[in-house]
Each structure stands twice: as C-alpha cells, then as structure tokens.
Amino acid sequence: MDIISLIKDIVDVSLVWLVFYFILKNIKNNVKLSLIFKGIAFIILLKIVSYIFDLTTIEFLLEYIIQWGFLALIIIFQPEIRNILEQLGRSQLLGRHKILTVDEREHLVYEIVQAMDYLRKNRIGALIVIERDISLGNYIDRSKKLYADLSSDLLISIFYEGNPLHDGGVIIQGNRISCAGAVFPTSSSSKINKRLGTRHRAALGISEESDAISLVVSEETGRLSVAVKGELYYNLSIDDVRIMLIDELRPKKDIDFEEEELDEEEIYEENN
C-alpha cells in the first residue's frame, strides 16, 4: 500500500507540474497574458512586503485588490483566458503539427520570399501568417479553407486586388496554405506607428496572442514588415525577411545545438 500511495503522490505532483508548465509556456508566448502575470506577481510581492514591514494602509488596500481583483481579471480578460485554454487543448503535445524537413523549410522560405518580392514591387497588400507551436485553428475555422500546396503563384493570386479574399490574411500550416481571408485581432499597442494600417496591427495582434510569424506587404508603400513575439520589424529588405524566416523557422533543438557548439568553442579558446 505504501508503494501505491507513493506512486499516486508522484503522479499527482507530476500532473500539477505539467499543467503549470503548459500554462507558463502559453503565457510566455502571449504578450498580454505575460503582462497580466507580471502585474499579479508584483501585487503579491507588494503584499508580502507590506506584511513584513507592517504597512497597514497598503496592506488594507491590497487585501481588497486581491479579494476582488481575480474576479475582475476573469471578466476583463475573458477572451485571453479562453485563448490560452484553447491553445492548451490544441498544443503540440498531441503531435498535431508537422515538423518540416530542411528541404521543406527551404521551399517554404523560397516560395514566400518570391511572392513577397512580387507583391512589394507591384504595391499589392498582403498578410501572411505562419503557424508554429500554438494552433491557429480557431481563426482557420472562421475563414475560407483551402488546404493547398504552398506556391508563390497561389499566394500572389490570393492577394490580387480582384480576388474576394485579398483583404484577409493567409494562414500557413507546415508547408500548406490552410486558409485565406482570415481575420485577426488588431493590436492596441502604443508602440506601433499610428500611420500603419489594419494589416500591420493585425499582424502584431496575432503575434502577441501566439508564437506565429506574421509577414506584411504594405499596399501604399510596398514596404515589408515582420511581426514576431509581440514585436513589429518595419521597412525590411527582402533579404532581411529571408534571414528572419530562416532563423525563426529553425527547430529549437537545432538552435540549442548551435549554442552548445559556440559555448564549447569559447571554452576551448579560453583554455588555449
């Protein structure tokens, strides 16, 4: 019985840590939720400090904030909380997303860069979103599904002005175009230039809520932008876009392996 109880305790603790791991992982990939998490951590820290130093007024106010704050957060940030729960259910834990080979990644980058080069030269606006670990299934469900092989010609034709789907965004899963005409949440960040339009705000918005890579071609100027991890990189060259795509699409294990190699080289140089 003691062994069975020990196994139960280990499984119990492991499941709790697994839940916390996926929650924290999704918070890390969501800019809005990470800010909320930091705010909660700050309030808890302030509460501890006020208790230690016997700051009665601050402790009294914080007591009310903690008592009603969580309810207020649930009401105000209900869409973000729903998103993170959906992301937990659709994460790579279930093995849903395809891991691309080197050749497939090179083909993906080549076709996207070719399309963006044509679009920028002809001042055709475009928004291309590449799904990574966090599923964009809820946006795909509300858009026009294609599930077509990726090609620069198809991307160009989708964003051609006469196409009914040119105003929305394209979502790429793996090496296929899953849908067109997708609508994304627009960012309310104060850091984004006020002159930038809806496409740029939508690109930044989806990069704040997921780990997707968003690529934008400006219809007015033909300038290229990339939004990733809640940051918008504006007015890039076509080579800049190519390098960013190659770097961002590399599997994490390859990046870790390269970092280990660099560390070993540095240690070797220091010893010699």
Question: Domain check: are 146 and 245 in the same one?
Answer: yes
User: What is the CATH number for 167?
Assistant: 3.40.1700.10
pLDDT of residue 242: 96
269 occurs within a structural domain: no
126 occurs within a structural domain: yes
Query: Domain span at residue 83?
Result: 2-89
94 occurs within a structural domain: no
pLDDT reading at 117 higher than 50 = yes
265 occurs within a structural domain: no
The closest alpha carbon to 203, from 224, 185, 222, 223, belongs to: 185
236 occurs within a structural domain: yes
Print burial letters for 185-196: b (CB count within 10 Å at least 16), e (below 16). Answer: bbbeeeebeeeb
Cα atoms in the 13 Å half-sphere on the side-chain side of 65 = 14
* Count of structural domains, the chain: 2
pLDDT digits (tens, 9 = 90+) for 104-115: 999 999 999 999
pLDDT of residue 92: 46
Mean pLDDT of the chain: 82
207 occurs within a structural domain: yes
pLDDT above 90 covers a percentage of the chain that reads 42
Question: Domain check: are 142 and 13 in the same one?
Answer: no
Place of tokens 């960012």: 187
pLDDT reading at 164 higher than 50 = yes
Question: Domain check: are 75 and 119 in the same one?
Answer: no
d(CA 234, CA 223): 8
